Structure 1
Amino acid sequence: MLLAIDVYYKENEAKVVAVVFNSEDETPQSIVVDQITGIEDYVSGEFYKRELPCIESILQKINLKDIEAVIIDGHIYVDDGGTFGLGGHTWESLDKKIPVIGVAKNSFFRNKNTVKEVFRGESKKPLYVSSIGIDLDIATNLIKKMKGDYRIPTVLKELDRITKE
Protein backbone atom coordinates (compact mmCIF):
# COMPACT_ATOMS: atom_id res chain seq x y z
CA MET A 1 0.00 0.00 0.00
CA LEU A 2 1.07 3.55 -0.70
CA LEU A 3 0.21 6.68 1.24
CA ALA A 4 0.07 10.11 -0.39
CA ILE A 5 -0.26 13.31 1.64
CA ASP A 6 -1.11 16.87 0.62
CA VAL A 7 -1.68 20.07 2.59
CA TYR A 8 -3.74 23.13 1.66
CA TYR A 9 -3.35 26.40 3.54
CA LYS A 10 -5.88 29.14 4.20
CA GLU A 11 -4.51 31.92 6.39
CA ASN A 12 -3.23 30.24 9.58
CA GLU A 13 -5.16 27.00 9.06
CA ALA A 14 -4.31 23.88 7.11
CA LYS A 15 -6.35 21.05 5.67
CA VAL A 16 -4.27 17.88 5.53
CA VAL A 17 -5.43 14.93 3.46
CA ALA A 18 -3.90 11.47 3.21
CA VAL A 19 -4.99 8.78 0.79
CA VAL A 20 -4.11 5.10 0.96
CA PHE A 21 -3.97 3.19 -2.32
CA ASN A 22 -2.18 0.59 -4.42
CA SER A 23 -0.10 1.76 -7.36
CA GLU A 24 -2.65 0.34 -9.82
CA ASP A 25 -5.61 2.13 -8.17
CA GLU A 26 -7.35 5.08 -9.82
CA THR A 27 -9.17 6.04 -6.64
CA PRO A 28 -8.06 5.95 -3.01
CA GLN A 29 -8.98 2.94 -0.89
CA SER A 30 -9.23 5.19 2.16
CA ILE A 31 -9.09 8.90 2.87
CA VAL A 32 -8.10 10.62 6.12
CA VAL A 33 -8.67 14.36 6.63
CA ASP A 34 -7.34 16.60 9.38
CA GLN A 35 -7.77 20.32 10.09
CA ILE A 36 -4.97 22.14 11.89
CA THR A 37 -5.00 25.67 13.27
CA GLY A 38 -2.17 27.92 14.39
CA ILE A 39 0.01 27.21 11.37
CA GLU A 40 3.42 28.86 11.24
CA ASP A 41 4.02 31.55 8.64
CA TYR A 42 5.92 30.51 5.53
CA VAL A 43 9.64 31.29 5.75
CA SER A 44 11.57 31.16 2.49
CA GLY A 45 13.93 28.19 2.44
CA GLU A 46 12.25 26.61 5.47
CA PHE A 47 8.97 25.37 4.01
CA TYR A 48 9.30 22.07 5.85
CA LYS A 49 8.94 23.88 9.20
CA ARG A 50 5.42 24.87 8.15
CA GLU A 51 4.32 21.65 6.47
CA LEU A 52 6.04 18.92 8.49
CA PRO A 53 3.87 19.38 11.62
CA CYS A 54 0.80 18.95 9.39
CA ILE A 55 2.19 15.75 7.89
CA GLU A 56 3.20 14.40 11.31
CA SER A 57 -0.30 15.12 12.63
CA ILE A 58 -2.02 13.06 9.94
CA LEU A 59 0.56 10.26 10.13
CA GLN A 60 -0.60 9.70 13.73
CA LYS A 61 -4.09 8.91 12.41
CA ILE A 62 -2.96 6.21 9.97
CA ASN A 63 -1.94 2.62 10.53
CA LEU A 64 1.49 2.63 8.85
CA LYS A 65 2.04 -1.14 9.22
CA ASP A 66 1.27 -1.95 5.56
CA ILE A 67 2.53 1.29 4.02
CA GLU A 68 5.39 0.61 1.59
CA ALA A 69 6.12 4.26 0.78
CA VAL A 70 4.84 7.77 1.46
CA ILE A 71 4.39 10.18 -1.44
CA ILE A 72 4.63 13.89 -0.72
CA ASP A 73 4.07 16.93 -2.91
CA GLY A 74 7.61 18.28 -2.82
CA HIS A 75 11.28 17.41 -2.93
CA ILE A 76 13.40 15.10 -0.81
CA TYR A 77 16.47 17.33 -1.18
CA VAL A 78 16.75 21.06 -1.85
CA ASP A 79 20.24 20.78 -3.34
CA ASP A 80 22.69 18.29 -4.80
CA GLY A 81 24.65 18.27 -1.54
CA GLY A 82 21.93 16.31 0.25
CA THR A 83 20.30 19.11 2.27
CA PHE A 84 16.88 17.80 3.23
CA GLY A 85 13.70 19.34 1.94
CA LEU A 86 10.23 18.36 3.11
CA GLY A 87 10.63 14.75 1.97
CA GLY A 88 13.89 14.19 3.82
CA HIS A 89 12.47 15.62 7.01
CA THR A 90 9.36 13.46 6.59
CA TRP A 91 11.58 10.37 6.25
CA GLU A 92 13.39 11.30 9.46
CA SER A 93 10.06 11.78 11.26
CA LEU A 94 9.18 8.22 10.18
CA ASP A 95 12.37 7.03 11.93
CA LYS A 96 13.81 6.27 8.48
CA LYS A 97 11.62 3.14 8.34
CA ILE A 98 9.27 4.01 5.46
CA PRO A 99 10.61 5.27 2.13
CA VAL A 100 9.48 8.69 0.96
CA ILE A 101 8.93 9.68 -2.66
CA GLY A 102 8.79 13.33 -3.59
CA VAL A 103 6.67 14.28 -6.59
CA ALA A 104 7.05 17.95 -7.45
CA LYS A 105 5.53 19.99 -10.24
CA ASN A 106 8.48 22.37 -10.36
CA SER A 107 12.23 21.90 -10.19
CA PHE A 108 14.77 23.60 -7.96
CA PHE A 109 17.84 25.05 -9.61
CA ARG A 110 20.10 23.51 -6.92
CA ASN A 111 18.94 19.88 -6.96
CA LYS A 112 19.39 18.73 -10.54
CA ASN A 113 21.23 15.51 -9.60
CA THR A 114 18.82 14.34 -6.90
CA VAL A 115 15.69 14.23 -9.07
CA LYS A 116 14.57 12.52 -12.23
CA GLU A 117 12.13 13.97 -14.70
CA VAL A 118 9.08 11.84 -15.39
CA PHE A 119 6.99 12.53 -18.46
CA ARG A 120 3.49 11.07 -18.30
CA GLY A 121 0.77 10.98 -20.90
CA GLU A 122 1.32 13.47 -23.67
CA SER A 123 2.55 16.20 -21.35
CA LYS A 124 5.62 18.13 -22.46
CA LYS A 125 6.18 19.21 -18.85
CA PRO A 126 7.71 16.66 -16.46
CA LEU A 127 7.11 15.79 -12.86
CA TYR A 128 10.25 15.93 -10.72
CA VAL A 129 10.62 12.73 -8.70
CA SER A 130 13.05 12.23 -5.83
CA SER A 131 13.28 9.55 -3.17
CA ILE A 132 14.88 8.42 0.05
CA GLY A 133 14.82 4.92 1.48
CA ILE A 134 13.99 3.56 -1.98
CA ASP A 135 16.08 3.54 -5.17
CA LEU A 136 15.32 6.58 -7.32
CA ASP A 137 14.82 4.43 -10.44
CA ILE A 138 12.25 2.28 -8.63
CA ALA A 139 10.44 5.39 -7.32
CA THR A 140 10.46 6.98 -10.75
CA ASN A 141 9.09 3.82 -12.34
CA LEU A 142 6.33 3.63 -9.73
CA ILE A 143 5.19 7.19 -10.49
CA LYS A 144 5.47 6.63 -14.23
CA LYS A 145 3.26 3.51 -14.07
CA MET A 146 0.52 4.96 -11.85
CA LYS A 147 -2.93 5.07 -13.44
CA GLY A 148 -3.94 8.09 -15.47
CA ASP A 149 -3.41 9.46 -18.94
CA TYR A 150 -2.14 12.85 -17.86
CA ARG A 151 0.90 14.45 -16.26
CA ILE A 152 -0.45 13.99 -12.73
CA PRO A 153 -1.46 10.41 -11.80
CA THR A 154 -5.22 10.08 -11.27
CA VAL A 155 -5.06 9.25 -7.57
CA LEU A 156 -2.73 12.22 -6.88
CA LYS A 157 -5.04 14.51 -8.83
CA GLU A 158 -7.93 13.25 -6.70
CA LEU A 159 -5.88 13.91 -3.55
CA ASP A 160 -5.28 17.49 -4.70
CA ARG A 161 -8.99 17.98 -5.42
CA ILE A 162 -10.04 16.68 -1.99
CA THR A 163 -7.43 18.82 -0.25
CA LYS A 164 -8.75 21.98 -1.92
CA GLU A 165 -12.47 21.24 -1.29
Structure 2
Amino acid sequence: MICIVDVHYEPDRVTAAAVGAEWDDEIATIEIVVRTKGPAADYNPGAFYERELPYLLAILERMPPVEAVVVDGYVWLGPDHPGLGWHLHRARGGPVIGIAKTQFAGAVSNDVIRGDSHRALHVTAIDFDAVAAAERVRAMHGEHRIPTLVRRADTLARGR
Protein backbone atom coordinates (compact mmCIF):
# COMPACT_ATOMS: atom_id res chain seq x y z
CA MET A 1 0.00 0.00 0.00
CA ILE A 2 1.06 3.58 -0.68
CA CYS A 3 -0.17 6.71 1.04
CA ILE A 4 -0.83 9.89 -0.91
CA VAL A 5 -0.96 13.02 1.24
CA ASP A 6 -1.99 16.60 0.64
CA VAL A 7 -2.59 19.72 2.74
CA HIS A 8 -4.90 22.66 2.07
CA TYR A 9 -4.77 26.03 3.85
CA GLU A 10 -7.63 28.38 4.64
CA PRO A 11 -7.49 31.52 6.79
CA ASP A 12 -9.01 29.80 9.83
CA ARG A 13 -8.03 26.14 9.40
CA VAL A 14 -5.71 23.64 7.80
CA THR A 15 -6.92 20.35 6.33
CA ALA A 16 -4.63 17.38 5.74
CA ALA A 17 -5.75 14.33 3.78
CA ALA A 18 -4.28 10.87 3.35
CA VAL A 19 -5.37 8.30 0.80
CA GLY A 20 -4.16 4.71 1.15
CA ALA A 21 -4.32 2.27 -1.76
CA GLU A 22 -2.29 0.08 -4.05
CA TRP A 23 -0.39 1.80 -6.84
CA ASP A 24 -2.88 1.03 -9.60
CA ASP A 25 -6.13 1.23 -7.61
CA GLU A 26 -8.97 3.45 -8.75
CA ILE A 27 -10.58 3.68 -5.31
CA ALA A 28 -8.83 4.28 -2.00
CA THR A 29 -8.76 1.57 0.65
CA ILE A 30 -8.29 4.14 3.42
CA GLU A 31 -9.17 7.84 3.52
CA ILE A 32 -8.28 10.04 6.48
CA VAL A 33 -8.97 13.76 6.86
CA VAL A 34 -7.69 15.88 9.75
CA ARG A 35 -8.82 19.50 10.18
CA THR A 36 -6.88 21.80 12.49
CA LYS A 37 -8.43 25.06 13.66
CA GLY A 38 -6.42 28.23 13.43
CA PRO A 39 -4.11 29.59 10.77
CA ALA A 40 -1.08 27.73 9.49
CA ALA A 41 2.42 28.99 10.05
CA ASP A 42 3.45 31.72 7.64
CA TYR A 43 4.84 30.66 4.29
CA ASN A 44 8.62 30.97 4.32
CA PRO A 45 10.08 31.03 0.77
CA GLY A 46 12.67 28.30 0.42
CA ALA A 47 11.37 26.52 3.53
CA PHE A 48 7.88 25.42 2.46
CA TYR A 49 8.39 22.21 4.41
CA GLU A 50 8.26 24.12 7.71
CA ARG A 51 4.63 24.97 7.02
CA GLU A 52 3.48 21.60 5.68
CA LEU A 53 5.53 19.00 7.56
CA PRO A 54 3.70 19.09 10.93
CA TYR A 55 0.36 18.33 9.26
CA LEU A 56 1.82 15.52 7.17
CA LEU A 57 3.44 13.90 10.20
CA ALA A 58 0.19 14.13 12.17
CA ILE A 59 -1.92 12.46 9.51
CA LEU A 60 0.67 9.77 8.76
CA GLU A 61 0.56 8.70 12.41
CA ARG A 62 -2.99 7.50 11.70
CA MET A 63 -2.01 5.36 8.70
CA PRO A 64 -0.84 1.75 8.79
CA PRO A 65 2.69 1.05 7.51
CA VAL A 66 3.01 1.76 3.78
CA GLU A 67 5.44 0.98 0.95
CA ALA A 68 5.90 4.68 0.20
CA VAL A 69 4.44 8.10 0.94
CA VAL A 70 3.58 10.28 -2.06
CA VAL A 71 3.69 14.05 -1.53
CA ASP A 72 2.46 16.94 -3.64
CA GLY A 73 5.83 18.54 -4.30
CA TYR A 74 9.50 17.72 -4.63
CA VAL A 75 11.80 15.44 -2.68
CA TRP A 76 14.78 17.26 -4.19
CA LEU A 77 14.70 20.87 -5.39
CA GLY A 78 18.18 20.51 -6.85
CA PRO A 79 21.55 18.97 -6.04
CA ASP A 80 22.08 19.26 -2.29
CA HIS A 81 18.82 21.23 -2.00
CA PRO A 82 16.24 19.12 -0.17
CA GLY A 83 12.53 19.63 -0.66
CA LEU A 84 9.43 18.70 1.32
CA GLY A 85 9.78 14.98 0.60
CA TRP A 86 13.35 14.87 1.88
CA HIS A 87 12.33 16.58 5.10
CA LEU A 88 9.45 14.13 5.52
CA HIS A 89 11.85 11.23 4.97
CA ARG A 90 14.28 12.66 7.51
CA ALA A 91 11.49 13.09 10.07
CA ARG A 92 9.93 9.63 9.79
CA GLY A 93 12.05 7.45 7.50
CA GLY A 94 10.81 5.27 4.68
CA PRO A 95 10.48 5.90 0.97
CA VAL A 96 9.00 9.20 -0.16
CA ILE A 97 8.01 10.08 -3.72
CA GLY A 98 7.31 13.62 -4.81
CA ILE A 99 4.91 14.47 -7.62
CA ALA A 100 5.18 18.13 -8.59
CA LYS A 101 2.87 19.81 -11.09
CA THR A 102 5.18 22.72 -11.87
CA GLN A 103 8.85 22.75 -12.76
CA PHE A 104 11.16 24.16 -10.11
CA ALA A 105 14.25 25.89 -11.54
CA GLY A 106 17.28 23.72 -10.85
CA ALA A 107 15.32 20.62 -9.85
CA VAL A 108 16.31 17.34 -11.45
CA SER A 109 13.27 15.12 -11.88
CA ASN A 110 11.95 12.25 -13.93
CA ASP A 111 9.22 13.79 -16.03
CA VAL A 112 6.05 11.82 -16.71
CA ILE A 113 3.46 12.56 -19.39
CA ARG A 114 0.06 11.03 -18.70
CA GLY A 115 -3.11 10.88 -20.75
CA ASP A 116 -3.53 13.48 -23.47
CA SER A 117 -1.67 16.12 -21.49
CA HIS A 118 1.39 17.84 -22.89
CA ARG A 119 2.46 19.02 -19.44
CA ALA A 120 4.70 16.76 -17.43
CA LEU A 121 4.47 15.71 -13.82
CA HIS A 122 7.89 16.02 -12.17
CA VAL A 123 8.73 12.95 -10.07
CA THR A 124 11.51 12.78 -7.47
CA ALA A 125 12.19 10.18 -4.78
CA ILE A 126 14.26 9.17 -1.79
CA ASP A 127 14.79 5.59 -0.59
CA PHE A 128 12.93 4.47 -3.76
CA ASP A 129 14.41 4.18 -7.25
CA ALA A 130 13.52 7.44 -9.01
CA VAL A 131 13.02 5.85 -12.44
CA ALA A 132 10.80 3.15 -10.93
CA ALA A 133 8.84 5.85 -9.07
CA ALA A 134 8.21 7.70 -12.33
CA GLU A 135 7.03 4.49 -14.00
CA ARG A 136 4.69 3.78 -11.08
CA VAL A 137 3.24 7.29 -11.37
CA ARG A 138 2.84 6.87 -15.13
CA ALA A 139 0.91 3.60 -14.57
CA MET A 140 -1.39 4.92 -11.82
CA HIS A 141 -5.11 4.83 -12.54
CA GLY A 142 -6.68 7.68 -14.47
CA GLU A 143 -6.93 9.02 -17.99
CA HIS A 144 -5.73 12.50 -17.16
CA ARG A 145 -2.48 14.18 -16.20
CA ILE A 146 -3.17 13.87 -12.48
CA PRO A 147 -3.67 10.26 -11.29
CA THR A 148 -7.09 9.47 -9.82
CA LEU A 149 -5.86 8.92 -6.25
CA VAL A 150 -3.64 12.02 -6.27
CA ARG A 151 -6.69 14.03 -7.31
CA ARG A 152 -8.71 12.30 -4.56
CA ALA A 153 -6.22 13.38 -1.87
CA ASP A 154 -6.38 16.94 -3.20
CA THR A 155 -10.19 16.88 -3.22
CA LEU A 156 -10.35 15.61 0.37
CA ALA A 157 -7.86 18.23 1.55
CA ARG A 158 -9.94 20.97 -0.10
CA GLY A 159 -13.06 19.68 1.63
CA ARG A 160 -14.97 18.84 -1.52
Which category of TM-score, normalised to the shorter sequence, fits these structures? Answer: over 0.9
Q: Which runs of 4+ in 1 moved over 4 A?
A: none
Partners of 2:70 and 2:12 lie apart in 1 by 24
- TM-aligned CA distance change 1:37 to 1:84, over 3 Å: farther
Q: What's the TM-score once normalised by structure 2's chain length? A: 0.95
Structure-2 residue corresponding to 1:78:
77
Of Structure 1 and Structure 2, the greater strand share is in: 2
Any residues of structure 2 matched to 1:68-147 within 5 Å, and which? 68-79=67-78, 81-94=79-92, 96=93, 98-111=94-107, 113=108, 115-147=109-141
Give aligned-pair identity as a percent: 34
Structure 2 unaligned blocks of 5 or more? none
- Cα offset, 1:100, TM superposition: 0.3
Partners of 1:142 and 1:159 lie apart in 2 by 17
Structure 1 unaligned blocks of 5 or more? none
RMSD: 1.1
Aligned residues: 158
Q: What's the TM-score once normalised by structure 1's chain length? A: 0.92
List per-residue Cα deviations over 1:105-146 (Å, max 9, x = no partner).
0011111x3x11100011000100000001111100100000
Alignment of 1:5 onto 2:5: yes
List per-residue Cα deviations over 1:16-55 (Å, max 9, x = no partner).
0001000121111110111123421111111100000010
